[in-house]
Every structure is written in structure tokens, then in C-alpha cells.
Amino acid sequence: MSAVSPDLTLAILGDTFGVATFPATARRISPQTRELAARVLAGEYGRDMANATFALSPEEEALPPELRAAKAVRLIAEQAPLRLCQEELLAGSAPLLEATFHQKPAANVRSTSHTTIGFERALREGLKGYRQRLAERCQRDDLDADQRVFLQAMADCLDAMEIWHRRLLAGLAELGLAEVSARLERVPENPPETFGEAVQALWFLWEFQRLCGNWSGLGRMDKMLGPYLARDLAAGRITLDAARELLAHFWIKGAEWIGAKNGQIGSSGDAQFYQNVILGGVDEAGEPVLNEVTDLVLDIVEELHISDFPVAVRVNRHTPARLWGRIAEVQRLGGGIVSIYNDDVVIPALVQFGYPLAEARDYTNDGCWEVLIPGHTAFSYRPFDLLPAVQRALGLDHEGAAPDFPDFASLYARFQTEMGRLLEGVWNECANSFRQGQPSPLLSLFVEDCIERARPYYGRGARYSVRAPHAGGLPDAANSLHAVKTLVYDQHRLSLAGLVTILRADWAGHEELRREVRRDLTLYGNNDPDADAMLQRVYDDYTALCASQPERDGVRMPAGISTFGREIEFRANRTATPFGARRGEILASNISPTPGTDRKGPTAVINSVTSVDFTRLPCGTPLDLKLHPSAVAGEAGVAALVGLLRSFVARGGFYLQLDVTDAATLRDAQQRPELYPNLSVRVSGWSARFTTLSRDWQEMIIQRTEQRFPGP
């Protein structure tokens, strides 16, 4: 359920089967499927998960790393428990607890996330196409011993997938599930011929990676599955209702880790498994992607409100009104499950960075929200806090004499120097990425050009090795500089040395001044020309520095801006700020305004955020926008929300994750968590059930929901 008023929350809890469907939401999914959803969302599957009871032998442990990893994949395929249920329409599960900890079962190494591998090609060719490509590559005489070992490891992973496939078919036969067995029998070894086969093949490919510990995003589901459904509908082989049921089971099975005793609970939530789904946009030729699967996914999310597959819809200035309406209707239910990318900005940003146009048009995310080319990219990012560059420029990192800058230009020049120093350290670290890492033969199978280069994902095998610098605290840095310029150099309220002394003391003895600054100073997020101009200045200088180093030592380094909740850990190294925050306060997330400083509503926030040129930021950034449920009530509320979304796109926004939340409901959920088992909120690139967040993370979500500046 969403964060809504308490009365509506209680009404939802009484819904048939306990599935979080809002009053007046259409019931399109069968009662049987809704009942299954209720059981899975209540943790029935997750509670039964356990660690693997098998392990590699000493001889297998001594193998080269890639072969050792492949042996672990085979062992998983041979011995992992099967979970097949009479009620399910798809076969395959990931019941090993180690996988929820981001570990490869039996291999005792960390797994891979923050990527979206090439499911589309796997559907198009079938696994037999990969067998053929591997065989042809092995026949060439340009391979060294390590490369031959790696190619053998990938072949062994294909054999393991065949073993798992045979076990599933045998289990289905034992249960008499002939219909499910028929969908699975030919795929994924062969390309699917029907929509049912395509859904089952995609589930198998994605779920087997998950079973072995890897957390890949799904990518462009409607682009992959839409053509199969269109053909089946035209031939009368399936109905829309039957197709919706199949996809609903995909969503339900994707929530199978709810209730598992894993490391995500108690920190950043129980659904941070990087399994985003992308809808809409255009294909490689620039043609729109909008089909029956697009609509069915939104139907399912609206009705079942399962947050484990966050959905991002790619939109642009030509997006039809019907799709805008459906996005708004689902978004207003809260949970942050549906977000939007702006194709009119993202695609040009990727092309400017150097990607071919066809690949840029096919962009997706890494399972979170960072932008990449699916099936082509080994991806990671390097977060860092930009606010310390301001602190160092002001001398807040030491107790010596305060700096003496005769004018703001001199102070800003020092800030630029400090920002450059931070980035130089980031670049040096990024340049060493993907030279070595955990063995990954299973994942590498589905990443271009790992077969051709005969090199793994973590060995520069992917077509693009990307490590993106991600600045956090950029709005806070801009607000700090704006406050210094205003208070010291424009209004002459304080000397720079006097302000530094106050900040070193954490505003002690100057509470009245601090409150006055917080009350009277207009900051970024209010459509204020001066405050927004400072944000633009910092943003332009940051992106210009990043553009000067787009690649180093073979690693691409597209600029991004993010915090991903790190505003919690950043606070330990943050001093008091010139705009009135005390030491250790949780400040801005991503490129969003500092919590509570945006006083003029969401339209002003959008105007401020879109004052910058996002084509300069190829890895992207989210705007986290919170709306009260009363603002989107009724048909007028949907129309207002559509207008807000269209404005964001028309003004050049990059990515918007919007949540409809009520701080009072969130506070009540803290006190009475048993009443809110499926209360979902957007955290960053993922959604989580609110009651599974730690207290610090809950407070961060509530703080950015409440319309007040943090602290007294």
C-alpha cells in the first residue's frame, strides 16, 4: 500500500486476500492470482529460504577462478532446491539465501549487480546461438591459455543451465503441470515462438542469474515481449486477460525474497535487488515502443502494488496523452514504483558522450537508475561528497587561521581547485576498474563482447567498461556558496573570518542568526534566479571537469550526481553549513533541494532543477519529488500530475522519481509497523517496504517528505 491517510490505509488493509489494491482500482487479475500475491507478499516464500547445503570439493576449489565459478554454477543447477507450485504459471525460483546477500552460493565470492545484461539477444537467438558462438570462437588460434579457460567456463555455465532446465521439466511432470511444462520445453535453448514461451524464457534467463547470486536489471520488457504478444493476439492464440495473468505471475515471483533473513533488512530496505523494468521510449531506429505489454505492466503495478520491480517509463515530447494518464494514475497511488526518463535529454546526452545513436536510443538503467547501454556495459559508479570541497575552501577542515578572500570570485576559485582535487582522486581510482574482480562466466555470457574478446566482465571483456563519477551534495555545496556570497560579500552581514568562526563552533552562541538565515535566505529549489544561478555555476563547472576526462586507461567515466542514501553516511564528515544547517544533519538527496528548503511547491522545484543543461550529464541524476495525496486526488489530481510530468519533460529534466506520501502515515507506520506490511516508499533507484528500513533511513524518508528544514 502507499503512504496515504490513515483512514484509507485501514480500508486497504481490509481488502480481499490482503492484497494492497486501492478502492476504485479496477480488478483485472483473477482471485486465484491475487491470493497467491498475498501469500508471497506476506513472506511465505522468503521465510523458507536457506543457505546451500552443498559446497565445492577441495579439487574444485583449487581450479582457476573462472572454472571454479562455473563449477559452482553447475553445482547450484544440480542441487539447489526446486520450488514448483500448483498455482504458479511460470517455473523457476531462487531459494538460496546467500543470493540475497549479494553472494554466489557455493562459490564464496561476491556476485554482480548494477548492470543489465543482454536478455533481448538471448531471447532472439536462444542459448543454442551462444553455444555456436562459443564453439566458433574456440576454433580460432589467437587465444592464450587463460582465454581458453574462460571460454570453457562459459560453456560449462550453458551446460549448467541445461541441467536446471531438465530438473524443472521433471518437477513439472511430477506435479502434472502440463501447461507450464509446454511453455518451458523449447526455451530458452531455442528462440520463443509464442508470448507464453517468451515470458517463461525471460523469467528463466533472469531467474537463473539470480539463483546464482547475480542481480541484473530486466531492461526493456515491453520492447522484448511486445512483438510476441502482438502476434499471438492477431492469431487468436491468447487473450489480453491471459497475458496479464502470465505477467502478473512474473511480478509475484519477483517478490519471492520478501521475508528472507538477509542483510538488506534494517538498513536500506528489503527490495534493493536492482531489478528495474523499463517501458516505452523508442527503438534503435527511433520508432516508438508502446504496446500491449506496456499497458499490462501498468495494470499489474496498479492493482497488486508490488514494489519489487520498480518501473521506469521512457517518455518524450511525443508521448501520447493516454500513456501520460496511465503513468499518473499509477504514480498517485504512491510507493514510488513508477518513475520517468526523458528521452529528449537522455539520448542526446549519451550521443554527446560518444555512444552510437542506435545504442543510445536503446538505453536502459543498471537495475537502479544510472543510465547505460544494456547488454554492452560493465558498470559501476564512484560516489563522493562534493560538500567537503566548500568546507576546505572555507578552512572548516582545520583549526588554523581562517582564509581571507577579498572577493567571492577568489573564494569560488579555491572551491574549483578543491573540486578538481577530489575528482582527480576519483579518476585515478576509476581508471583501475575492471582489470580484475570476482569471476563471472555466467554473467559474461550475456554481455557483448566477452565471447569475442574471450575476456570476462571484470577483465575488460565488455564492449564498454564504465565507472561513473557521482557527486553527492551538489545542491548543498551550491547553497553554501550562495549563502557565503549573500551574507559576506553582498550584504556584508559578516566577515568571512567571522562566519568561519561561527561554523567551526557549529553555530553555538549564534542561534538567533542561524534561525534568521534559515528563515530569510532563499535557496535552490524555489525558482529563485540567484540561488539557481549558483547551482548552475557549480553544476557547469563539475560537468566541465568531468567532460575533460571522459575516459582514462580504457574506462569510460560519464558524469553523474547521486547520493543513494549516502547523505546518512556523509553527515559524519560534514561541518555546519553557511545556510544554517548544523554539523551532522542529513541534507540533499541526489540533485533534489535540501529537505524543507523548497517552500514554493513542486512547480518551483522543477523550474529550479531544469535550469541546468542535463545533456552535460550522461550518467544522469534523479529528482526526488514528494507530493501529498490530497494534491493528486480525483480526476483533477490526475490531470494536475500529468501537467507536472509534462512540464518536467518539456523543460529538459533528466529523470524523475515521484512519490505520493503523507508524513503522518509514515510516522504512524514507525509506531505500528504491523498495520503497514506493504507500505512502499521510493528510497533512491529502488522502492522498499517502509517498515523494513532502519530508523535512520526511515527518518531520512520522512524528513524529505515533511515541508520543513531539518533540525530545530
Q: For the chain, list the domains and their CATH numbers.
A: 6-346 (3.20.70.20)
Tell me: pLDDT of 683 over 90. Answer: no
Distance (Å, rounded) from C-alpha 250 to C-alpha 405?
61
Pick from 664, 667, 659, 672: nearest CA to 698: 667
Q: What are the helix (H) ranges across 510-632?
A: 511-520, 529-547, 567-570, 602-609
The grid coordinates of residue 500 equal 568561519
Q: Which residue has cell 574482480?
A: 437
| Res 21 pLDDT > 90 | no
Phi and psi, residue 164, nearest 5°: -60, -40
Alpha-carbon span 555 to 553, nearest angstrom: 6
Quickly count: other Cβ atoms within 10 Å of residue 501's Cβ. Answer: 13
The x, y and z cell numbers of residue 461, run together, are 571483456
- 435 C-beta neighbours (distance < 10 Å), count: 13
C-alpha dihedral sign at 173, 177, 183, 188: negative
Q: For the chain, how far is it from start to end, CA to CA, in angstroms?
A: 31
Q: Which residues of 229-260 are buried (b: 16+ CB within 10 A; e: fewer)?
A: beebeeeeebeeeebbbbbbbbbbbbbbbbbb
pLDDT of residue 488: 98
For residue 270, what is the DSSP state? S
Q: Is the pLDDT of residue 92 over 50?
A: yes
pLDDT of residue 20: 47
Residues 445/457, Cβ–Cβ less than 8 Å: no
Q: What CA–CA distance (Å, rounded) separates 268 from 271?
A: 8
Give the whole-angstrom CA distance, residue 566 versus residue 606. Answer: 23
* SS3 of 413-435: HHHHHHHHHHHHHHHHHHHCCCC
State the average pLDDT over residues 80-86.
96
Residue 135: pLDDT band (50, 70, 90) is very high
Q: Are 29 and 248 in contact (CB under 8 A)?
A: yes
CA distance linking residue 696 with residue 683, whole number of Å:
12
- Tell me the average pLDDT across 336-365: 97
Give the whole-number percent of the chain exceeding pLDDT 90: 79
pLDDT digits (tens, 9 = 90+) for 450-473: 999 999 999 999 999 999 999 999
What are the counts of helices (DSSP H) followed by strands (DSSP E) for the chain? Answer: 30, 17
pLDDT band at 175 (very low <50, low <70, confident <90, very high): very high
What is the identity of the amino acid at 546? C
- Evaluate if residue 711 carries a pLDDT over 60: no
Percent of the chain with pLDDT over 70: 94
Beta strands 680-682 and 364-365, pairing class: unpaired
pLDDT at 11: 31
Q: What is the Rg, in whole angstroms, of the alpha carbon atoms belonging to the chain?
A: 26
Q: Could you tell me which of 336, 426, 439 has the C-alpha nearest to residue 380?
A: 426
Confidence check: pLDDT of 710 > 50: no
DSSP 288: B
13: pLDDT strictly greater than 60 = no
Residue 549 has pLDDT above 70, yes or no: yes
Provide the 8-state DSSP code for 486. Answer: I
Whether the pLDDT of residue 17 is over 50: the answer is: no
Q: Is residue 215 within a helix (H) or strand (E), and if so which, with residue range?
A: none
DSSP 8-state code for residue 684: S
Can you list the pairs that 53-61 forms with residues at least 24 positions away whose Cβ atoms lie under 8 Å?
53/79, 54/79, 54/106, 55/106, 56/106, 56/107
Kind of pairing between the strands at 338-342 and 311-315:
parallel
Q: Residue 486 is placed in which grid cell? A: 549573500
Q: Is the pLDDT of residue 272 over 80?
A: no
Instruction: Determine contact, residues 351/558, Cβ cutoff 8 Å.
Output: no
Three-state DSSP class for 10? helix
373-387 average pLDDT score: 97
The stretch 81-99 carries a mean pLDDT of 96
Contact 527, 520 (CB under 8 A): no
pLDDT given for residue 688 in this prediction = 77
For residue 547, name the pLDDT band (cuts at 50, 70, 90). Answer: very high
Residue 23's pLDDT is what?
Answer: 55
Amino acid in the structure at residue 574 = R
The residue-averaged pLDDT of 303-316 equals: 94
- Residue (of 25, 2, 110) closest to 439 by Cα position: 110
Instruction: Quickly tell me which residue has 505489454 as its cell.
Output: 293
In order of 2, 154, 174, 356, 483, the CA distances from 202 in angstroms are 29, 19, 23, 27, 52
567 and 700 Cβ atoms separated by less than 8 Å: yes
pLDDT band at 551 (very low <50, low <70, confident <90, very high): very high
pLDDT at 268: 66
* Cα 154 from Cα 531, distance rounded (Å): 54
Give residue 217's pLDDT: 97
Residue 476 confidence (pLDDT) above 90: yes
Q: Could you tell me if 229 and 197 are in contact, meaning their C-beta atoms sit under 8 angstroms apart? A: no
Contacts of residue 264, Cβ cutoff 8 Å, sequence gap at least 6 = 100, 270, 271, 272, 273, 692
> Using alpha carbons only, what angle is made at residue 627 by residues 626 and 629, rounded to the nearest 5 degrees?
140
90 in helix, strand or coil? coil
Report the amino acid identity of residue 626: K
Reference 99, options 120, 80, 119, 127; nearest CA is 80
Question: Residue 637 to residues 147, 216, 323, 326: CA-CA distances in angstroms?
Answer: 58, 35, 16, 13
Query: Can you tell me the distance from the alpha carbon of 205 to that of 222, in angstroms, rounded to the nearest whole number?
Result: 16
* Separation between Cα atoms, residue 376 and residue 493, nearest integer Å: 55
Residue 589, SS3? coil
688 φ/ψ angles, rounded to the nearest 5 degrees: -145, 150
User: At residue 709, does pLDDT exceed 70?
Assistant: no
187 contacts 200 by C-beta, under 8 angstroms: yes
pLDDT at 671: 87
Q: What is the largest CA-CA distance in the chain?
A: 83
Q: Is it the case that residue 660 has pLDDT exceeding 80?
A: yes
Alpha carbons 87 and 95: distance in angstroms, whole number: 17
Residue with cell 515481449: 225
Averaged pLDDT of the chain: 92
Whether residue 65 has pLDDT greater than 60: yes
For 395, the 3-state DSSP assignment is coil
Q: Which of 168, 161, 233, 166 is nearest to 196 (CA)?
A: 233
| pLDDT level of residue 262 (50, 70, 90 thresholds) | low
Instruction: Quick: pLDDT tens for 202-247.
Output: 999 999 999 999 999 999 999 999 999 999 999 999 999 999 999 9
In angstroms, rounded to a whole number, what is the distance separating the alpha carbons of residues 568 and 383?
13
C-alpha–C-alpha distance, residues 224 and 313, integer Å: 15
